[in-house]
Amino acid sequence: MHGPLSKMRARLGADTEYALVLGDAETPLNPRLGQVLTLRWTGRIFCDACGRETKKSFAQGHCYPCMQKLARCDLCVVKPETCHFAAGTCREPDWGERHCMIPHVVYLANTSGLKVGITRESQLPTRWLDQGATQALPVLGTATRHLAGLVEVALARSHADKTNWRAMLKGGGAPLDLAAAASAALAGIADDLTAIRATHGADAVWPLDNAPLDITYPVTRYPQKIASHNFDKTAAVSGVLEGIKGQYLLFDNGVINLRKFTGYEVELVDTAA
């Protein structure tokens, strides 16, 4: 099995269920826990957008021309408060209409501790699984990604908006009372929400009434120390698969973030332990 690497497919279950994606082929990974698994990079990289071969990957799996022209590679994707569509400068307005000018969710999650994040409604719970969250709670709905970004900026004054991936891979944070955390967080940004509604309309932001979601992952042993595998330094990554969390494979000799290597042509080889 080989092909350009994509992020793992993840689905909620008693333990989150993962599949490795190489080109058009998928293989379930949960049954392979405890087995020796080898991933070998062939030395080739393909753009995740246009499919052309490229010597180097940019913006998480793109060739340089696509990175330069595609809206999905703009900084506002990770800093939505700077939304180009809202400013009238989006390079692909049609793409912006489909991906940004639609309802989004502002949420709290427990990854390496409490954090705030945003995502499209259609991306739940995938977004949480990709982050390795053990708990998650949708807090607010917004009419667009730009508005979600404005709310996130307000919440980020008192809440982390990034995951400490090393802590997450050591097991993550202790269970949290997300409902109580959400109530406190909303009280802290009440003036910000009033200002956003005054500028963008009363229906720009609305509260959500959801129960917190608990998420578990297929991990037999968390690493005590984090050593990272990197295809750019070592073409073959091999070891006993001891867990999967977020977009990371946890081997007995290190971890690898598969999403980082989107577009790398990889061969899967499994060997009896």
Residues 48 and 129 in one domain: no
Cβ atoms of residues 246 and 51 within 8 Å: no
**What is residue 201's three-state secondary structure?**
coil
Residues 133 and 171 in one domain: yes
Is residue 162 predicted with pLDDT exceeding 60? yes
Residues 98 and 134 in one domain: yes
Please give the pLDDT value at position 270. Answer: 62
- Looking at the 3D structure of the chain, how many domains does it have? 2
Please give the pLDDT value at position 49. Answer: 96
What is the domain extent for residue 21?
2-61+221-271
Please give the pLDDT value at position 229. Answer: 97
Query: How does pLDDT run across 166-200, given as a tens digit for each residue?
Result: 999 998 778 999 999 999 999 999 999 999 999 99
Whole-angstrom distance, CA of residue 98 vs CA of residue 121: 13
Residues 84 and 137 in one domain: yes
Residues 146 and 209 in one domain: yes
Query: How does pLDDT run across 12-27, given as a tens digit for each residue?
Result: 999 999 999 999 999 9
Whole-angstrom distance, CA of residue 104 vs CA of residue 249: 29
Q: How confident is the model at residue 272 (pLDDT cuts 50, 70, 90)?
A: very low
Query: How does pLDDT run across 208-240, given as a tens digit for each residue?
Result: 999 999 999 999 999 999 999 999 999 999 999
Q: Is 124 exposed, middle or buried (0-12, 13-18, 19+ CB in 10 A)?
A: middle
Residues 199 and 264 in one domain: no
Is residue 137 predicted with pLDDT exceeding 90? yes
The fraction of the chain above a pLDDT of 70, given in percent, is: 99
Please give the pLDDT value at position 273. Answer: 42
Residues 6+ apart with CB under 8 A from 67: 58, 59, 73
Residues 130 and 188 in one domain: yes
Query: How does pLDDT run across 44-95, given as a tens digit for each residue?
Result: 999 999 999 999 999 999 999 999 999 999 999 999 999 999 999 999 999 9
Residues 177 and 228 in one domain: no
DSSP percent split of the chain into helix, strand, coil, nearest 5: 30, 35, 40
Q: How confident is the model at residue 271 (pLDDT cuts 50, 70, 90)?
A: low
Which of 166, 196, 214 finishes a domain? 214
Q: Is 58 exposed, middle or buried (0-12, 13-18, 19+ CB in 10 A)?
A: middle
The stretch 116-134 carries a mean pLDDT of 96
Residues 35 and 76 in one domain: no
Which of 187, 214, 241 finishes a domain? 214
Whole-angstrom distance, CA of residue 234 vs CA of residue 238: 10
Which of 214, 231, 249 finishes a domain? 214
Residues 22 and 120 in one domain: no
Residues 106 and 44 in one domain: no
Minimal CA–CA distance to 150: which of 92, 200, 102?
200
Residues 76 and 158 in one domain: yes
**226: amino acid identity, one letter:** I
